[in-house]
């Protein structure tokens, strides 16, 4: 039993989980939704064990570092973070029908990590600049933030579909989208997730700055990744202002949530194709 095997199982289990949530929501089937939740929790637990195992394995190799150091490990952690944020939201809101997108995103992250030929899944030693406890804090905070934005993006997509489907006017419970929460709840959940994500993105940027200051002697150097994380932060800050100061609700907020998540994806993947900066090890 090693971490790679467990992570392969995790990849396929998340696909199964996404399918269960999908069929449960579309066919208005409570059992399928419950299955999604159960598979989600089990897979999440297996993945947690896999992450801990990989951590332990890195000590066996003599490197000894948390599994948060390269693109492969960050993708695996992204899937883990999305699921933990979603499953807690599900517990608190008692809404099972929102699981499709989080489970799908988790599967896509795992699949990309596992099947892309350009991503090295081996445990590698840490270069000196990455040897810092701030690294752990920075990566965890950023990915919890990204995960919340991913969940918010999923909620926004459902909101826009439901809005386009016109179920807001018809009160009957026969529609395909009727399993989902009503528009006001979706809007509010989107907002809650974005506030949560914004808090963690702020902490992520701050811990990154403190780390950069101890490693390179500068807390902000306008490196492309830093700059894009700031752009993402500004987009969500603008959304929060539009909502509280201008009373924006619903559709416009949902679109801004999608725009924000596009920025998140670009910060995470797109920047690697721009000029190389301090975060160039993220390509490895």
Binding site for other proteins (CB under 8 A): 62-63, 93, 124-125, 127-129, 131-132, 134, 185, 188-189, 192, 195-196, 198-199, 202-203, 206, 209-211, 213-220, 222, 224, 227-228, 230-231, 234-235, 237-238, 241-242, 244-246, 271, 274-275
Residue 11: in which H helix or E strand, if any? helix 3-26
Residue tagged 């990744």 (tokens) = 225
Max intra-chain CA distance, the chain = 63
Instruction: Say how many Å lie between the first and final Cα of the chain, rounded.
Output: 26
Q: Which is nearer to other proteins, 1 or 245 (CB)?
A: 245
Residues 111, 113, 114: CA angle, nearest 5 degrees: 65
Nearer to other proteins, 122 or 174 (CB): 122
- Closer to other proteins by CB, 27 or 273: give it: 273
251: phi then psi, degrees, rounded to nearest 5: -55, -50
> Comparing C-alpha atoms, which of 282, 269, 268, 11 is closest to residue 142?
268
Inter-CA distances, 53 with 11, 48, 66, 124, 198, Å:
16, 9, 10, 15, 31
Query: Which residues are CB-contacts of 162 (< 8 A; sequence separation ≥ 6)?
Result: 168, 177, 180, 183, 186
Question: How far is it, in rounded angstroms, from Cα 230 to Cα 45?
Answer: 33
Q: Is-contact 249 187, C-beta < 8 A?
A: yes
Alpha-carbon distance of 79 to 99, in angstroms, equals 13
Distances from the Cα of 27 to the Cα of 176, 178, 282, angstroms:
7, 10, 41
């Amino acid at each position: 039993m090693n971490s790679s095997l467990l992570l392969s199982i995790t990849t396929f289990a998340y696909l199964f989980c996404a399918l269960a949530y999908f069929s449960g929501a579309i066919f208005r089937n409570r059992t399928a939704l419950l299955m999604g939740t159960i598979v989600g929790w089990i897979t999440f637990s297996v993945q947690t064990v896999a992450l801990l195992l990989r951590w332990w394995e890195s000590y066996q190799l003599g490197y000894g570092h948390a599994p948060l150091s390269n693109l492969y490990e960050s993708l695996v952690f992204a899937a883990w973070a999305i699921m933990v944020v979603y499953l807690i939201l599900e517990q608190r809101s008692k809404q099972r029908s929102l699981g499709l997108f989080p489970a799908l995103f988790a599967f896509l992250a795992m699949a990309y990590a596992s099947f892309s030929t350009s991503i090295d899944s081996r445990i590698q030693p840490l270069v000196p600049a990455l040897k810092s406890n701030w690294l752990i804090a920075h990566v965890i905070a950023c990915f919890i933030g990204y995960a919340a934005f991913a969940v918010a993006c999923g909620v926004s997509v459902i909101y826009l579909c439901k809005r386009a489907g016109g179920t807001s006017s018809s009160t009957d419970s026969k529609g395909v989208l009727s399993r989902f929460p009503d528009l006001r709840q979706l809007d509010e959940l989107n907002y809650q997730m974005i506030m949560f994500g914004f808090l963690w993105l702020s902490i992520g940027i701050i811990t990154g700055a403190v780390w950069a200051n101890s490693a390179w002697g500068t807390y902000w150097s306008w490196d492309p990744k830093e700059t894009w994380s700031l752009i993402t932060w500004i987009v969500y800050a603008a959304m929060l202002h539009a909502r509280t100061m201008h009373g924006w609700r619903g559709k416009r907020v949902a679109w801004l949530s999608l725009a924000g998540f596009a920025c998140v994806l670009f910060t995470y993947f797109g920047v690697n194709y721009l000029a190389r900066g301090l975060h160039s090890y993220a390509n490895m």
